[in-house]
Amino acid sequence: MSTLLTNARLILADAVIERGALLITQGRIAHVFPAPPAPNELPACETVDLNGDDLIPGLVEIHTDNLEKHLMPRNGVLWPVLPAVVTHDAQCVAAGITTVFDALAVGDLEGESVRLDTLHTAFAAIDQGMREGALRADHLFHLRCELAFPRLLEELTPLIDHPAVRLVSVMDHTPGQRQYRDIAQYQKYYAKKKVSWTEDTFLQAVAERKARQLQYAAGHKAAVVAMARERGLALASHDDTDAAHVREAQADGVRLSEFPTTREAASEARRLGLSTVMGAPNVVRGGSHSGNVAALELARAGLLDILSSDYVPASLLHAAYLLEREAGWPLWRAVATVSTNPAQAVGLLDRGCIAEGQLADLVRVKPHPSAPLVQRVWRQGSIVF
């Protein structure tokens, strides 16, 4: 049976309908009404009155590493993988996210890392959960390639041909550049992670990581870019710091500049036609936890295209509504940063906006002074939260 969602404030891709309705048929949006239709205008259907709440597209999250905290809920404690994936999935859906790009790091600069320990088991568990219908959101893969990791290509090769791999990013977390161009900031960040370094061992670690970068990064980047191009996968850069980084990314065929650390880099991305991705936690907290450029600064300058929840799924919707209040954006434009824009950037043209023919991935939201409240979530017309 079809479902009519009525008496809703519809947040479209380029406008807001204050009191509209939409009809869901066979998992897709069959019709959008600018006003609630009369019963005789419709086929037999279930009617749901949203009582004036907002109805927005299901959120499209292209970079979340939220799964990591469920795989290792405490330092040294590895949790069973499929239950961890199911919990992560439920948390995402409860936040209004209906399409999840699980950002799995292929490589790490740390000798012992949950990322290294769980890459293949997490990948397999997400695949299993989707095949067996255990997950509520639609899960796809974003493979984050750490260029200075010696075994990068060995770990990447068995994963990249999976049909759910849709996005590849190239990262270089070597100290002294990009996100960690300030060595003192790098040391401070790892101190928060309880990494115990003396001054001597810290300097030794920095030297070793710089040496690995010189040995591996250039060759690995060329290989990863070639692999992505051959497969038609979207490419992202990571932590671009200056205009030269962005020009290098464009030459590689990158579409997305993820988390540029400076306004200079974001401006160059805009000039060259790359979509700029910033962290939703950056918006919610009012600034970067790493001392980089504030997402709201870029929003006010018109340099923000996409938000990512990164490590807090609930931040995505919250940040979108904050763009309206703190950056003066119309709500439709703000919501597009977490729906239409990310979907289009990675080639998912069947979702991300409220329009006829689109998948009925939808979120009922009750605005609240502290944060928007998710009331109901539909994925392809079925209630998943």
Q: How would you write the chain as a 3-class SS string?
A: CEEEEEEEEEECCCCEEEEEEEEEECCEEEEEECCCCCHHHCCCEEEEECCCCEEEECEEEEEECCHHHHHCCECCECCCHHHHHHHHHHHHHHCCEEEEEEEEEECCCCCCCHHHHHHHHHHHHHHHHHHCCCCCCEEEEEEEEECCCCCHHHHHCCCCCCCCEEEEEEECCCCCCHHHCCHHHHHHHHHHCCCCCCHHHHHHHHHHHHHHHHHHHHHHHHHHHHHHHHHCCEEEEECCCCHHHHHHHHHCCCCEEECCCCHHHHHHHHHHCCEEEEEHHHHHHCCCCCCCCCHHHHHHCCCCCEEECECCCCHHHHHHHHHHHHHCCCHHHHHHCCCHHHHHHCCCCCCCCCCCCCECCEEEEECCCCCCEEEEEEECCEECC
Q: Which pLDDT belongs to residue 54?
A: 98
Residues of the chain with pLDDT under 70: 111-112, 176, 178-198
Q: Which pLDDT belongs to residue 111?
A: 61
- Report the CATH fold assignment for 59-352: TIM Barrel (3.20.20)
Q: Which pLDDT belongs to residue 194?
A: 46
Q: Which pLDDT belongs to residue 175?
A: 74
Q: Which pLDDT belongs to residue 356?
A: 98
Q: What is the pTM of this model?
A: 0.93
